[in-house]
């Protein structure tokens, strides 16, 4: 009985995840274009450890297009600081108001 309840809970969780609301559909999220993108510095320790991957950030962008704040949503701890530092220098297109953007920074091994 207990196992069946656990399986039902897991199935419900997967159904919720697979129904997938995209970032564009989430309230408070926009799709502002990046006008100026700074590439992140690949940390030496990450290269030595052969760590690559995607850092996911939630970025609050002011109406003037400058980044106000960033929040890490996921990714390797070894790469987070480099991604955050780069994205804080990005510039987005001007908009009527402040928006929240979902950003991904990809680190590929050389």
Tell me the pLDDT tens digit for each residue of 27-52: 445 689 999 999 999 999 999 999 99
- Name the nearest CA neighbour of 28 among 90, 102, 100, 107: 100
How high is the pLDDT of residue 30? 61
Asked if 97 and 39 count as a contact pair (C-beta separation under 8 A), the reply is no
- Global pTM reads 0.71
pLDDT digit string, tens, across residues 68-109: 999 999 999 999 999 999 999 999 999 999 999 999 999 998
- Enter the CATH code of domain 23-107: 3.30.2420.10
Query: What secondary structure letter does DSSP report for 96?
Result: S
Asked if 37 and 88 count as a contact pair (C-beta separation under 8 A), the reply is no
Asked if 86 and 40 count as a contact pair (C-beta separation under 8 A), the reply is yes
Domain ranges for the chain, please list them. 23-107
Query: What secondary structure letter does DSSP report for 39?
Result: P
Name the phi and psi angles at 108, rounded to 5.
Answer: -110, 135
DSSP 40-87: PP--HHHHHHT--EEEEEEEEE-TTSBEEEEEEEES-HHHHHHHHHHH
**Helix (H) / strand (E) containing 107:** strand 99-107
């Amino acid at each position: 009985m207990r196992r069946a309840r656990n399986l039902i809970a897991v199935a419900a969780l997967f159904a919720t995840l697979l129904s997938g609301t995209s970032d564009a559909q989430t309230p408070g999220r926009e799709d502002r274009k990046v006008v100026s993108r700074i590439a992140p510095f690949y940390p030496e320790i990450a290269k030595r450890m052969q760590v690559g991957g995607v850092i996911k950030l939630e970025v609050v962008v002011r109406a003037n297009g400058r980044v106000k704040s960033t929040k890490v949503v996921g990714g390797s701890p070894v790469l987070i600081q480099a991604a955050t530092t780069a994205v804080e220098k990005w510039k987005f297109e001007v908009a009527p108001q402040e928006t929240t953007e979902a950003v991904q920074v990809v680190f590929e091994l050389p």
